Amino acid sequence: MNYIAPGIPADENERLAELAALNVLDTTAEEDFDSLARLAAFICGTPISLVSLVDAKRQWFKARVGLDAAETPRDISFCTHAIADPDQLFIVTDASKDKRFRENPLVTGDPNIRFYAGMPLKTGEGSAVGTLCVIDRVPRDLSVMQREALVTLSNAVVAQLNLRRRLSRHEQYYAMLARVSARIARTTDIEGLCSEACHAGVELGGLRMAWIGRLDIPSGNVQPVAWATSKGRLAESMVCSIAIDPFERALASEAIASRHPRVCNDLATVSHASPGGVWHQHGLLASAILPLAVDDVLWGTMSLYAGRKNFFDPFYLDRANELAADISFGIDRLQKTRDIHYLSFYDTVTGLPNQAGFEDKFGTLAPQIHCGCLLVVGMEQLDHVAAAYGAGAIDSVLKQVAQRLQAHAPHRAIAALVRRRLFALFVPDEDPANFSRFATQHLAAALSAPYSIDDVQVGCAIHLGASFFPDDGKTIGALLTAAERAVQSARSLQQTFRFYNKKIDETTTVQLRLEGELRKAISRREFVNYYQPKIDLATGRIVGAEALMRWLHPERGLVSPAEFIPVLESSGLILEAGRQALGRAIIDYCTWRDAGLGTPRIAVNVTALQLRDQNFITDIQHELAAGKCDPVALSIELTESSLMTAEQQVRGVLQALREIGILVAIDDFGTGYSSLSYLVTLPIDELKIDRAFIMRMTTEPAYMGLVNTIISLAHNLNLKVVAEGIENNEQANLLRLLRCDQAQGYLYSKPVPADDFAAMLARNII
């Protein structure tokens, strides 16, 4: 096609931004524009008149007279030629003779343009967004009067467009303000509010970018809190780089110092001051910085950027100031709400929840738990501290108590300062015995360590009291009252810790006392092994021994395991006590062996906790090596329940024992809920039928049937069967008939001290 396409104006980007800001493209026809177009056609005597707006790729007609098309491609439009000089009327008297147009399809075809006169529409300061033009299908010209009329009418179109822009700006800005106000009403966080304001500024306020920063008063720096850009995501790093730009900082300082907006409507003129040219890179041509003051105290700034020079006119700044005032109001409201919430739920000195906060947190936790312990800390001598070091010293001590309490608080526990000097700690799903241990062994020690007041170390006695949820109360109020009573009784009895509930208190006290004694007993090696023989039912000879622990109490004499094994287990002391029992069994075995007594294997009872101990196997190997003892010396007895837990890990330990050559027996078989078919998947060698079955088998046929089944099933699985608690010959005879392998019980011998057992072995006459 042989026509000359119009050039692109140098400031095309700004021109298009201006056109977009008018918000007029693709809108419906409006009488204000149509009447001006009609007037132009009437005065100039042309069949066609257009208000044409030149978009990036097309010209679009806001008003048209005598033409059907709503738009044409930009590269064939006459108007694009016309706007090349925004201040001049552009006239083509005969397009068919003009080399720029004679091949133009608008000339060669419909609407067969010959004459064109277009006056550019300059709405902003620079280039034109389009034209008011008149067109004829015959060559001709305009009179001077007609030309003047066309210029006047084009000014009227420009005025109309500007009015439109102002109206649309009003609409948009009020929508922007409304959006921020709506957010203020429902937002709960300052960051959310700031982010909404930035997005509203970009999406409705025609900005290219906006960010809000918080002022750090000592350094004068402004730290970005929220931001938004019209171009997708904006990296925090970019906002930060703009925030520290020297020009930006200078402008922000001026805004902060004067407490008035500061505007730079042409950032290109200061680009030399900022070699990085951050604004330039992001197409930011004008900026305004608004100070945000909350309760008359400067809070931060809002920085606005536009992609157009001279964007921030007085109208815009008025709206922006309203926006800033709204944001400041919102921040103020949120800060006050937060302060009120904080003051009502937290203690300001320690930062711990106060009673209301404690109740609030407990209320959330309570439905999720079964039980729990509430502890109250009674701080004695705080008045002495105040008298000696001043009231401020109390705050310092309270802060330290709070820190220690939090440092020792178990997972999910809630620490609180429920009254001025009363600390509380709620530990969910904790059983009283464990809690007593925690309170007396860890917390009491931590809280009674000296407190620093300035450079002085001050001791402060404490008493602890606890109540148990839900037994002692279902609300914090009731639990606190009970725990405070417990503190009082601890105080009057001069004890460190007490439970409110008498029964719990007694059992935990007894248990704790026993625990302390057991600890001492372990270190003093007060435990001994008694031995009970295992008899081969076919031959009547001793073929094994079970080591049974006894406590030789210095005052109480021999204490039975039923009394202390559960406490050893719950306190974890069984690890050391069990190690000692194994060690003694090995030593006794070696003694008997060395005395030539034809010593049988010694079975040692082992608990689940010991099996889970990582050193269990190596400890046994170590003891065996120390006594130069063969693994044939040992077997271990495990209860069914200990085999049900930690299955994978237990399997590994049992396997390792088998590899060493130590046999494994299942003790008290029949009391648990495991099935034989499950147990035989484990590497075990022996089954010990519980005494309860043996006791009832001679009187109840069902039990005899059960024992019979257990024995034959076990034999099918290659397990040796031992019957426990044989007390009479009838039981022994029956078991012999049922082909039980071994028997153990008072019929043969009660558990006896090592020396007596050696004598028994020497006689081997049973």
Residue 607 in the binding site for ligand C2E (CB under 6 A): yes
Of 163, 57, 54, the residue nearest 118 (C-alpha): 54
Tell me which of ligand C2E, Mg ion, none is bound by residue 751, counting a contact when its beta carbon lies within the kind-specific cut-off of 5 to 8 angstroms: ligand C2E
Stretch that binds ligand C2E, among 196-204, 270-278, 350-358, 599-607 (CB under 6 A): 599-607
Q: How far is the CB of 675 from ligand C2E (least distance, A)?
A: 20
Stretch that binds ligand C2E, among 78-86, 367-375, 678-686, 723-731 (CB under 6 A): 723-731
Q: How far is CA 642 from CA 177, 581, 645, 673, 678, in A?
A: 69, 18, 6, 12, 14
Residue 741 in the binding site for Mg ion (CB under 5 A): no
Counting residues that bind Mg ion (by CB under 5 A) gives: 5
The 3-state DSSP class for residue 549 equals: strand
Please, what is the Cα angle at 596 between 590 and 599, to 5 degrees? 60
297: Cβ–Cβ under 8 A, 6 or more apart, which residues? none
Q: How far is the CB of 355 from ligand C2E (least distance, A)?
A: 46
- CA 9 to chain CA mean position, Å: 55
Answer yes or no: 724 catalytic. yes
Q: Quote the longest CA-to-CA distance of the chain.
A: 148
Residue 562 in the binding site for ligand C2E (CB under 6 A): yes
Tell me which of Mg ion, ligand C2E, none is bound by residue 727, counting a contact when its beta carbon lies within the kind-specific cut-off of 5 to 8 angstroms: ligand C2E
Q: How far is the CB of 550 from ligand C2E (least distance, A)?
A: 7
Which of the following is catalytic: 569, 637, 724, 727? 724
Tell me which of Mg ion, ligand C2E, none is bound by residue 607, counting a contact when its beta carbon lies within the kind-specific cut-off of 5 to 8 angstroms: ligand C2E
CA–CA separation, 530 vs 746, rounded Å? 14
Fill in the per-residue mask, 631 to 670: x = in contact with ligand C2E (CB under 6 A), - = not in contact. ------x-----------------------------xx--
Q: What is the DSSP string of 100-121?
A: TTTT-HHHHSTT---EEEEEEE
Q: Position 199: which residue type? A: H
CA–CA separation, 499 vs 506, rounded Å? 8
CA–CA separation, 36 vs 42, rounded Å? 10
Pick the closer one to Mg ion by CB: 484 or 686: 686
Residue 549 in the binding site for ligand C2E (CB under 6 A): yes
Pick the closer one to Mg ion by CB: 668 or 686: 668
Tell me which of ligand C2E, Mg ion, none is bound by residue 642, counting a contact when its beta carbon lies within the kind-specific cut-off of 5 to 8 angstroms: none
Residue 605 in the binding site for Mg ion (CB under 5 A): yes
Residue 557 in the binding site for ligand C2E (CB under 6 A): no
CA–CA separation, 84 vs 333, rounded Å? 53
Stretch that binds ligand C2E, among 93-101, 398-406, 501-509, 739-747 (CB under 6 A): 739-747
Residue 686 in the binding site for Mg ion (CB under 5 A): no
Of 324, 232, 214, 234, the residue nearest 278 (C-alpha): 234
Residue 729 in the binding site for ligand C2E (CB under 6 A): no
Residue list 33-92, contact with ligand C2E (CB under 6 A): none
Tell me which of ligand C2E, Mg ion, none is bound by residue 581, counting a contact when its beta carbon lies within the kind-specific cut-off of 5 to 8 angstroms: ligand C2E
Burial class (CB in 10 A: 0-12, 13-18, 19+), 735: buried
Fill in the per-residue mask, 352 to 371: x = in contact with Mg ion (CB under 5 A), - = not in contact. --------------------
Residue 588 in the binding site for ligand C2E (CB under 6 A): no
Tell me which of Mg ion, ligand C2E, none is bound by residue 347, counting a contact when its beta carbon lies within the kind-specific cut-off of 5 to 8 angstroms: none
CA–CA separation, 488 vs 498, rounded Å? 9
Residue 605 in the binding site for ligand C2E (CB under 6 A): yes
Residue 567 in the binding site for ligand C2E (CB under 6 A): no
Burial class (CB in 10 A: 0-12, 13-18, 19+), 651: middle
90: Cβ–Cβ under 8 A, 6 or more apart, which residues? 78, 81, 82, 84, 116, 117, 118, 119, 120, 131
Residue 667 in the binding site for Mg ion (CB under 5 A): yes
CA–CA separation, 174 vs 318, rounded Å? 11
Pick the closer one to ligand C2E by CB: 3 or 757: 757
127: Cβ–Cβ under 8 A, 6 or more apart, which residues? 9, 11, 12, 14, 15, 18, 83, 86
- CA 202 to chain CA mean position, Å: 32
Binding region for ligand C2E (CB under 6 A): 532, 548-549, 560-562, 565, 578, 581, 605-607, 637, 667-668, 724-727, 744-746, 751
Binding region for Mg ion (CB under 5 A): 605, 637, 667-668, 724
> Which residues are annotated as catalytic?
724
